[in-house]
Amino acid sequence: MYAAFSNLSRNMATTTQKLKVVLFLGSCREGRLGLRVARFMKNALEKSNHEVSVFDPVEMKFPLLERAFYHYKDKSEAPKWMCEAETKVREADAYVVVSAEYNHSIPPALSNMMDHFGGSCYSYKPSGIVCYSPGIYGGMRSAMQLRAFLGELGCLSVSNIFGIPEVHKSLDEEGIPQNDHMMKGANRLIAQLDWNAHAMRNHREAVGIP
């Protein structure tokens, strides 16, 4: 069941420097299922040699955006939590966005959270979309809008989208997969994200960014 994932983990573990990933969890509504997905993806990423920081709007309490970090001319005037969060976003090599679908669109908590930081933090790095729903479509309509949103931020999403239909049947409350499809889907996304993240990091370090 886990053979493919184990092979992927061993291959990625050969890299000497871990990739830093910020995982954005988009939902904060009561009874949310996204926490299961975030736990599952965090575990999968860490097993494949990634250092993961989870941004959860329930835990971090991002306020409704009034002043983004880049609007502070003197960065020392920004709240401490925002400075710490901005550093993690800026230092990340890639992003994973775990998104529900609200009214066939992007959850407002997700866009509000990511909009606190400017495009210079995200640019020239890849992102991966993980969408889900309790229904049969797996949140794909929000994923289509996320492609445009992430592209405008500068962190183009990789071509693979990991959609999870009937998420309540696919993962338990602790994020443990309940079928083989979950590991296969995660493997495909992580492999593609990892390749792009290494390539972009190597090029940033070699020639800088425009």
Q: What is the CATH number of the domain that holds 100?
A: 3.40.50.360
Q: Note whether 129 and 147 are within 8 A (CB).
A: yes
* pLDDT tens, residue by residue, 83-122: 999 999 999 999 999 999 999 999 999 999 999 999 999 9
Q: What is the DSSP code (8-state) at residue 139?
A: T
* pLDDT tens, residue by residue, 3-38: 444 444 444 444 458 999 999 999 999 999 999 999
Helix, strand, coil shares of the chain, percent, nearest 5, are 50, 20, 35
How far apart are the C-alpha atoms of 159 and 191, rounded to whole Å? Answer: 12
Q: Which residues contact 207 (CB under 8 A, 6 or more apart)?
A: none
* pLDDT for residue 17: 81
Looking at the 3D structure of the chain, how many domains does it have?
1
* pLDDT for residue 5: 44
Q: What is the DSSP code (8-state) at residue 126?
A: -
Q: Is 202 helix (H, G, I), strand (E, B) or coil?
A: helix
Q: How many residues does the chain have?
A: 210
Enter the tokens of residue 62. 């991002």
How far apart are the C-alpha atoms of 25 and 114, rounded to whole Å? Answer: 10
Give the residue numbers spanning the domain of 201.
3-207
* pLDDT for residue 16: 59
Give me the phi and psi of 24, to 5 degrees please: -95, 120
The residue whose two tokens read 């736990």 is 39
Q: Note whether 146 and 97 are within 8 A (CB).
A: yes
Phi-psi region of 90 (alpha: psi -120 to 50; beta: other; left: phi over 0): alpha
Q: Tell me the CA distances in angstroms from 113 to 14, 23, 41, 163, one per residue in order.
A: 33, 12, 19, 22
* pLDDT for residue 123: 97
* pLDDT tens, residue by residue, 149-186: 999 999 999 999 999 999 999 999 999 999 989 999 99
- pTM confidence score: 0.90
Give me the phi and psi of 52, to 5 degrees please: -115, 130
